[in-house]
Chain A
Amino acid sequence: AQKITQTQPGMFVQEKEAVTLDCTYDTSDQSYGLFWYKQPSSGEMIFLIYQGSYDEQNATEGRYSLNFQKARKSANLVISASQLGDSAMYFCAMRGTLNAGGTSYGKLTFGQGTILTVHP
């Protein structure tokens, strides 16, 4: 079974500062993928960044970077130079692999989410 844990229900950051959102995971799979999504109040899920379990380099996408520490099973999201528009709920998610029946290939398991508020 897979588990994703986000221990920060809410985070506050000043505009233009950096913020780290924590994510730890648990899996027995050797191959897995880790995702971060942003969900504004409108409800849409916006893909931010992806890290594969075999990727040696930390993923980066613009102002987003993923601090991947495999031995510690953590995949924290770092947002640099925060903007007011970054205020939203953020989810860490893990991609599963084929289950025994092969019918749930690649389903995502989500963490509890972190509500980020950026102050001007």
Chain B
Amino acid sequence: GAVVSQHPSRVICKSGTSVKIECRSLDFQATTMFWYRQFPKQSLMLMATSNEGSKATYEQGVEKDKFLINHASLTLSTLTVTSAHPEDSSFYICSARDINYGYTFGSGTRLTVV
């Protein structure tokens, strides 16, 4: 079946630094990638949608300059949290959409900013 590999699974960074999270579709071409954020025991909140080769579409209230999304190829999308602060600590998860496989989720990244 379709697999999306997400790295890193856990990351701790210092306040003010940037962190990059990668999602790779291993055996299919992900034309669209969705990025979600989830706080403990809460729902997944869509942050942005990225389409290969075009600018990401951000949901209302999500800072574009803080959460940089790049979808440069059909198999790789990245989310960079710039100048991270403790309030950015959360669980981030990507999901790739492909017309053949539906939705496939990465395993998620737990970000802790200290």
Binding site for B on A (CB under 8 A): 35, 37, 42-45, 47, 50, 89, 91, 101, 103-113, 115
- Within the complex, the shortest CB–CB distance from B111 to chain A, in Å, comes to 12
Among the listed stretches B12-20, B22-30, B43-51, B77-85, which one makes contact with chain A, having 4 or more residues with CB under 8 Å of it? Answer: B43-51
Contact of A103 among B54, B97, B105 (CB under 8 A): B54
Could you show 26 A-B contacts with beta carbons less than 8 Å apart? A35-B103, A37-B105, A42-B107, A43-B93, A43-B108, A44-B105, A45-B93, A45-B105, A45-B108, A47-B102, A47-B103, A91-B43, A91-B44, A101-B57, A103-B49, A103-B54, A104-B49, A105-B49, A105-B97, A106-B32, A106-B97, A106-B103, A107-B34, A107-B46, A110-B44, A111-B43
- Within the complex, the shortest CB–CB distance from A60 to chain B, in Å, comes to 17
The 9 closest A-B pairs by CB, nearest first: A45-B105, A43-B108, A103-B57, A104-B49, A110-B44, A110-B43, A44-B107, A112-B43, A106-B97
Classify the interface of chain B: helix, strand, loop or mixed.
Answer: strand
Binding site for A on B (CB under 8 A): 32, 34, 41-44, 46, 49, 51, 54, 57, 91, 93, 95, 97, 102-103, 105, 107-108, 110
Classify the interface of chain A: helix, strand, loop or mixed.
Answer: loop
Residues of B within 8 Å of A91, CB to CB, are 43-44
Indicate if the CB atoms of B57 and A45 lie closer than 8 Å.
no
- Within the complex, the shortest CB–CB distance from B69 to chain A, in Å, comes to 12
- Taken together as a complex, chains A and B put the C-alpha atoms of A33 and B114 apart, in Å, by 40
Contact of A109 among B46, B49, B54, B108 (CB under 8 A): B46
Indicate if the CB atoms of A113 and B49 lie closer than 8 Å.
no
- Within the complex, the shortest CB–CB distance from A79 to chain B, in Å, comes to 20
Residues of B within 8 Å of A105, CB to CB, are 32, 49, 97
